Amino acid sequence: MIVQTIMFYIFAALAVAAGVLVISSRNPVHSVLFLIVSFFNAAGLFVLIGAEFLAMILVIVYVGAVAVLFLFVVMMLDIDFAQLRSGFVRYLPIGALVGFILLAELVLIIGSWVVTPGMPSPGAARVAPLTNTRALGDILYTRYLFAFQSAGLILLVAMIGAIVLTLRHRADVRRQTISAQLARTRAQSVEVISIPIGSGSR
């Protein structure tokens, strides 16, 4: 329990510090990187409480989305990469320290089941354990089914609203109308022209 308490305070302090740096940093690229660090520490907190499924979802979904956001920031903003690379040697010790801290966090998370006292060994369990994914699915689709479906409906409406708000019809652009094409008759689609022999076609 002592190790879990220490790790909780470490993860919580790093998450709060990274969150403050996200909103205080003037460089958008730095803000995105601090946001990624905050997500990783939040995932560490999920692991400490035994919700490894939520931790993996947080890392895969949110960190992946932040990586895409990072690409958009790089593409849309005028960033001088030469200026960024010029400070590589100067910030190398800080980067190495941050990398070492993240590596130590991962090692402590993976090895916490060994060093934490009072936890039963894996062979002591006689009953088939209920995984977090199964338990989360049981709760979502039974007790919180209405809230889960309502959240999905709200997201669907938000997606449709975003598409409608960003869709602009311009008069100078020809668009395809599927209903008008399907409603055409043969007389509207085909025109038979009788050309006299020897006169050619124009």
Summarize pLDDT for 63-102 with one digit per residue, the tens: 887 777 776 766 666 666 566 666 667 777 888 888 888 8
- Separation between Cα atoms, residue 174 and residue 153, nearest integer Å: 33
Q: Does domain 1-82+91-117 have CATH number 2.60.40.420?
A: no
pLDDT-based confidence at 154, cuts 50/70/90? very high
Cα separations in angstroms, 16 against 40, 42, 59: 12, 10, 17
Residue 125 has pLDDT above 90, yes or no: no
Contacts of 132 (CB under 8 A, 6+ apart): 50, 51, 52, 53, 54
Average pLDDT, the chain: 78
Q: Are the C-beta atoms of residues 17 and 101 closer than 8 Å to each other?
A: no
Dihedral sign for Cα atoms in the order 84, 15, 76, 25: negative
- Greater model confidence, 96 or 170: 96
Which long-range contacts does 149-153 make (Cβ < 8 Å, 24+ apart)? none
Tokens describing residue 155: 């997201």
Q: What is the pTM of this model?
A: 0.48
Domain edges within the chain = 1-82+91-117, 131-166
pLDDT-based confidence at 115, cuts 50/70/90? very low
- Separation between Cα atoms, residue 25 and residue 27, nearest integer Å: 6
